[in-house]
Structure 1
């Protein structure tokens, strides 16, 4: 199916949002955690973004789906936003924003392994098999390059706890995405489904925040300005602008081309973390980042080739 026509300048801006903004959200979480506990930060982020999207849905008079679709969106939202992004926010208490982004770069491998119905298609390609093996080597290299000097608080043990939480978060994110793909009704707009997911993620994060005692410890008048700035950046630029740019781009450009943000985001996260908060990575972890991204490139190469051939045809 041919892609829609769109102004080139608008496409460039959308790619900049997906490449750069998503890469900087890891740093925004670090700033947000300077004033908010992790589950509360996630709850405020999702609920505020959800309210803004809800207002937009009313303005555009979007059609609201039935209960079955609401239920599917809510389940996928809880898995992706609470178990996925929320787990990353919790882990960034113990790892740097750059380290978190590099571990998240392994997410395409989890997709390949979890999407069983397409295994025959995936594992018939030597590009994908080679990419999986190289990516796995990169992950081992990254973990092997961890040391106390690269840990935010110099604590090697808690750094590993953070890595484990992020890896668990990638499993939740993939599970939620596959659930949404398999069970969501057709014809629901991205805006409506995102709105439902954000509210479900925000409500669940609020419950977790209350159960863990975060709401009793916070004093909003004592939250520093940099934490508020981090929260508002996550709401406006992360949960709204970048995400909506992504969902629009896949309607005007091949999804495989849009997915190249997987390679750019970790590099952006590492650079801004180093520039703004002096985060450090060992030379072995930097090498591991290159190896992981090479593995991701190889696993996606067949889909890139197919998408570009279809677009040319």
Structure 2
């Protein structure tokens, strides 16, 4: 296997940074956002705006419109990732702290492995070890006692993680638009599903959002959706699913640290220990696989 070109390596580094850091910050942003917005409505507006902006920009720069088959694939992926995954987390954060939400989403790589097995994929021992280490870190983080969640919120986050993982694995086998048009179509479809769900749930705006509410929405549109979600789609096409979903181990670290800085949250020794374990798990999963040429050379020596 050839090493990636410098430009491709830079894209990979930037994409992982977007997933690890930017997505980690969106949990705190969502927590502030649901104080001004109904959760499903906020998520739906977020993805409809982001998807529309990206779609219009791509079409004006010559990108072809998705075919009917591509719209169907994008609708399925958007429903699983954005409506089921992100929508579930957004609803849960009405009762669950941002760090707990990020912690629950740390189960995404485990679900990803289970669903990937259904399609015949086999994972390496190192990936299994990394996921096991990450789950151990998740348990340590939960043992600290500072991250308490309601039973309903916990179930919602677990279901959201499963929905996101299924969409990530299934999406690799569906007909999807090329390049950046894929996340654009998925955000449009996912946003539409979320708005329908908002209406069915009876959500209503009883007052205009606060300045913080509008700022949160803008941040989620630009950084959480246009940048980070596009980076996630790029990684799904260029790295193994276990590596693409390894952000789930880093996001709790980022979410807890931001909670300490901006929400007055405090963590103890168990949480700090968990963060170290989680980072080690991410490094283990993200290590490049040894190619056959390198393995043969090592055997000769």
Distance of 1:238 and 1:39 partners within structure 2:
16
Q: Cα distance, 1:93 vs. partner?
A: 1.2
Which of the pair has the greater relative contact order for Cα pairs under 8 Å at 6+ separation?
1
Contact 1:102 1:289 in 2 (8 A): no
Contact 2:24 2:252 in 1 (8 A): yes
Helix, strand or coil at the partner of 1:69: helix
Please name the residue that 2:289 is paired with: 305
Unaligned runs of 5+ in 2: none
Flag the 1:109–1:74 CA change in 2: closer, same or farther, 3 A. Answer: same
CA RMSD of aligned residues (A): 3.4
Helix, strand or coil at the partner of 1:175: helix
Q: Cα distance, 1:288 vs. partner?
A: 4.2
Task: Tell me which moved more, 74-83 or 132-141.
Answer: 132-141
Please name the residue that 1:180 is paired with: 171
Distance of 1:70 and 1:251 partners within structure 2:
18
Q: Cα distance, 1:72 vs. partner?
A: 0.9
**1:73-115 deviation line (CA, Å, top 9, x unaligned):** 1011101101101111111112111121122123111111221
Structure number having the greater helix percentage = 1
Unaligned runs of 5+ in 1: none
* Equivalent runs, 1:22-33 vs 2, <5 Å: 22-33=23-34
Distance of 2:116 and 2:236 partners within structure 1:
21
Q: Cα distance, 1:257 vs. partner?
A: 7.4
Count of aligned pairs: 294
The answer as to 2:195 corresponding to 1:206 is yes
Flag the 1:235–1:129 CA change in 2: closer, same or farther, 3 A. Answer: closer
Distance of 1:308 and 1:246 partners within structure 2:
28
Distance of 2:280 and 2:160 partners within structure 1:
22
Contact 2:236 2:244 in 1 (8 A): yes
Helix, strand or coil at the partner of 1:214: coil
